[in-house]
Amino acid sequence: MFTLTELEQAAALVHRQVPPTPQHLWPLLSERAGARVWIKHENHAPTGAFKVRGGVTFIDWLRREHPAIRGIVTATRGNHGQSQARAAVAAGMRAVIVVPRGNSVEKNRAMRAFGAELVEFGDDFDAARPEAARLAAAEDLFMVPPFHRELVRGVATYGFELFAAQPELHTVYVPIGCGSGICGTIAARDALGLATRIVGVVAEGAACAKLSFERGEPVETNTAQTVADGLAVRVPVAEALAIYRKGADRIVAVSDAEIEAAMRIYFSDTHQVAEGAGAAPLAALLRERESLQGRDVALVLSGGNVDTSVYRRVLGD
C-alpha cells in the first residue's frame, strides 16, 4: 500500500506535531497472558487517540491538492473528529463534525475545544454519515471520509514506530472500527518486510468487519451496540476490507464483558486508562493466550478517551 519512503515521509510530517508514542513491555500483563506483552500507547497521543496522526497527513494533503477548500465536514464517534478538527482549525479551516445523538459527552467537549462546530444527527455513526455528506454539498465543505489513503498513511506511522522498535513481534492485535488502524498496521509491516501476524478485533455487538472478512464481501449489520464506541460500526468500508482481508491473519470478536474486564486489567496492571476500543485487543489476547505462550505480542491501546461516568461504572463492577 505504501513504500518505505512514503512511510518515512509521513513519519517526518506527523512527528512535527505528534511525538512518537512509546511501546512498553508490561510485566504484570505479561505474567497474566503468559507472553511478552508490548503495549503501543496511542492513548499518549495529543488527542488521547491514534486518529490524530491521520488528521495531520490528511489536512496537509488537502491543502496541497485542494487549496481553495475553506472547510471540512466529517462524521465520527469522537476520536476521528478530534483529529480532523485539530488539524483543520490549525490550518485556518472551518471544521463541522457530525456525531450521533447520545454520543460521548466528553469526546463532544474535546471536539468543541479543538474548534469544531458540532452537529448531532441520527442514532449511530452510520446514520450520521449521510448527514455529513448533505452538509458538505449544502455548505461547500470538503467531506472527509472515515477511510482515505492519506488518513491511513498518517495512522500507519504508529505501526512504523512499533515495528522499527520491535521487529521480532509474533502477533499484533489491532481494534477495527472503519479500518484505518489495522490497514495502517498492515501497511507498515509490509513496507518493512516483516512476517508479524496481525489480528483484528471487533465487538460481538458490532461485528460487521469480522462477518465481512469471513464472507469475503461487505456485510452490514442492523445494529452496532457495544460499550466500545470506536468499534460501533454497522457498515464496513469496502476499501479497508480489501486490505485487511488480504493482510490480516484473522479477526476476533470479543464481548462487552471481556472489553470491560480488559479496561479494569489495564488500570490494575499498568495504571493506564483505556477506552473500550483501546482495551479490546487485550480482551482478544486473553481469550487466545493458550496459543501464544512465550511469544512476543503487541497490543494497540488505540485510545483512552472514555467518559468518566462510564469508566467509574466499569471500574466499580
- The maximal CA–CA distance of the chain, rounded, in angstroms, is 56
Please write the tens of the pLDDT for every residue from 190-220: 999 999 999 999 999 999 999 999 999 999 9
CA angle 244, 300, 211 (to 5 degrees): 35
What's the pLDDT score for residue 211?
97
Nearest partner of 77 among 308, 204, 254, 232, judged by Cα:
232
Q: What is the DSSP letter of 44?
A: G
Average pLDDT value for residue range 228-245: 96
Tally the C-alpha atoms within 13 A of residue 67's C-alpha that lie toward its C-beta.
1
**Where does CATH 3.40.50.1100 sit in the chain?**
4-50+149-316, 52-143
Measured distance CA(201)–CA(96) in Å, rounded: 30
Highest CATH level, class, for 4-50+149-316 = alpha beta
Strands (E), 157-285: 171-175, 197-203, 250-254
Environment class of 171 (CB within 10 Å of its CB; exposed 0-12, middle 13-18, buried 19+): buried
Helix (H) or strand (E) holding 24: strand 23-25
Residue 289 has pLDDT above 70, yes or no: yes
CA angle 207, 210, 216 (to 5 degrees): 130
- Quote the pTM value: 0.95
User: What CA–CA distances, in Å, run from 241 to 182, 238, 280?
Assistant: 10, 5, 19
What's the pLDDT score for residue 4?
96
Share of the chain above pLDDT 90, in %: 99
- What's phi and psi for 248, nearest 5 deg? -90, 150
Q: How far is CA 311 from its chain centroid?
A: 19
- What's phi and psi for 22, nearest 5 deg? -80, 160
What's the pLDDT score for residue 86?
97
Q: In CATH, what number does 52-143 get?
A: 3.40.50.1100
Mean pLDDT (the chain, rounded): 97
Nearest partner of 158 among 246, 30, 38, 31, judged by Cα:
38
The DSSP result for 121-157, as a single string, is: -SSSHHHHHHHHHHHHHHTT-EE--S--HHHHHHHHH
* DSSP tally for the chain: helices H, then strands E: 13, 10
The answer to whether 93 and 72 have CB atoms below 8 angstroms apart is yes
Residue 317 has pLDDT above 70, yes or no: no
Please write the tens of the pLDDT for every residue from 18-64: 999 999 999 999 999 999 999 999 999 999 999 999 999 999 999 99
Nearest partner of 221 among 257, 188, 253, 244, judged by Cα:
253
Q: How far is CA 109 from its chain centroid?
A: 19
Q: How far is CA 135 from its chain centroid?
A: 25
Q: What is the DSSP letter of 225?
A: -
Q: How far is CA 262 from its chain centroid?
A: 17
